[in-house]
Amino acid sequence: MLQPVSDLPVEQLIFYAVLGFSWTVYLWEAYLSYRQRRIYRSTTHVPQELGKIMDSDTFEKSRLYQLDKSNFSFWSGLYSETEGTLILLLGGIPFLWAVAGSVTARFGFGSEYEITQSLVFLTLATLFSAVTGLPWSLYSTFIIEEKHGFNQQTIGFFLKDAVKKFVVTQCILLPVTSLLLYIIKIGGDYFFIYAWLFTLAVSLVLVTIYADYIAPLFDKFTPLPEGELKTDIETMAKSISFPLTKVYVVEGSKRSSHSNAYFYGFFKNKRIVLFDTLLEDYSPLNKSGEPQPEQPESEDTSSESKAKPKNKKQGCNNPEILAVLGHELGHWKLGHTVKNIVISQMNSFLCFSLFAVLIGRKELFVAFGFDDSQPTLIGLMIIFQFIFSPYNELLSFCLTVLSRRFEFQADAFARGMGKASELYSALIKLNKDNLGFPVADWLFSMWHYSHPPLLERLRALGNAKQD
């Protein structure tokens, strides 16, 4: 006979509530993906509204690409949810904690060395995640991305890159975690304030050093050559008082033919990074009879990447690149970057404050198999990952809505700079280059799209373009 829910111990109620919410989110996501897959399957011809924007060949390619990605996402999501459920039901977290304790004990560290055991636990957990995720990543890269012409990596490059990412992640994660745990241990009643300030400092340092010291470990960055494009970028930055110091081109083509651009840096030290795949006259993936600008030498090119020329030019011309950067600089000028940082840190402070209230509740630990100990790292995992999951879902949706609003504002900023026509054509080109499917289910796009659908952005730009 089943026991009434009201009679269950609070620990079991917590456990089953976490598990139930996790599956509720998964089923909701699966339902949204099903709605979008139905769009991919049924929309086989270019809608009339898109007739002047996308040819039928590109439309079909994008439809099949997005359908493959959606099907892959369904199976990988089902695996991930099942794996997480089994880990919880079979006591995988306390088991791995015990294994970490056994490892540290072999080196003479007893249970009083909680931080040391926590670091071993974290290493084992991230290693498990990397190993179980590797087949899915391989399939995504060498089956789906390869099939649709985006992958530029070899197996050797991919595996070396994966090992390098794991090592670099551990070199950052382990010292930061050990210091955070130490701060929580010695911080007293106000430890949550010190912990928040520490994570704030770490995030600012990582943002500052990422592009200069971390990203170059994986991709080659070279200064944009002197010429018309660089001069125009500097002139545009100066016109809005953007403190630009350097413009880089990153060799993204050795990894993928997807394109991107971004800026980084604090205060008076801003830098712009352009993917070589974004630059029509710079991308090694373009096949043209015209002489291409001299490419920087790279020892990786011949053996680790396989740049495959395309029959048509990829990327944007110089005026379109300036329009894309006008959009990106609009995020800076309108304060979107600062607003996102403020929102992130307010959320971080709130979470640490609630963590301080909940960390002493033994039933939270017992619910997940920790009857005799209350490790701080496990408390962080339980509270931030499981207990806060409903709040995290709501926050994620709100940030998605805010992001779409920011994107429209940045488009309007570029339009105000007189670049509506160039941005209009750039968005179409980028959508084609990345095989974005321009038709979306309204509920799926509302929940998932951090950028407005292409047609909505083009409509917003259209009037100014016609003027």
Tell me which residue has tokens 């996501």: 29
Over the Cα atoms of the chain, what is R_g? 25
User: pLDDT tens per residue, the chain (467 residues)?
Assistant: 556 666 788 999 999 999 999 999 999 999 999 999 999 999 999 888 788 788 899 999 999 999 999 999 999 999 999 999 999 999 999 999 999 999 999 998 888 899 999 999 999 999 999 999 999 999 999 999 999 989 989 999 999 999 999 999 999 999 999 999 999 999 999 999 999 999 999 998 998 888 788 888 888 889 999 999 999 999 999 999 999 988 999 988 888 888 888 888 777 788 899 998 888 766 566 544 444 444 444 444 444 555 554 445 678 899 999 999 999 999 999 999 999 999 999 999 999 999 999 999 999 999 999 998 999 999 999 999 999 999 999 999 999 999 999 999 999 999 999 999 999 999 999 999 999 999 999 999 999 999 998 888 998 887 545 44
The pairing of beta strand 244-250 with beta strand 270-275 = parallel
pLDDT at 284: 61
What is the enclosing helix (H) or strand (E) of 398? helix 389-416
CA distances from 271 to 221, 383, 438 (A): 12, 37, 31
Q: Is 407 annotated as a binding residue?
A: yes
Among all residues, which ones are annotated catalytic? 328, 411
Please provide residue 322's backbone torsions phi and psi, each rounded to the nearest 5 degrees. -60, -35
Please give the pLDDT value at position 4.
62
3-state secondary structure of 315: coil
Q: Within the chain, what is the greatest distance between any pair of CA atoms?
A: 79
Query: Is 331 annotated as ligand-binding?
Result: yes
Q: Report the pLDDT value the prediction gives residue 290, as an integer from 0 to 100.
A: 44
Residue 148 annotated in ligand binding: no
Q: What is the pLDDT, as a whole number, of residue 3?
A: 60
User: Residue 351 and residue 108: Cα distance in Å, rounded?
Assistant: 35
In this prediction, residue 298 carries a pLDDT of 41
User: What are 59's two structure tokens?
Assistant: 């439309």
Q: Within 13 A of 63's CA, how many CA atoms are on the CB side? A: 18
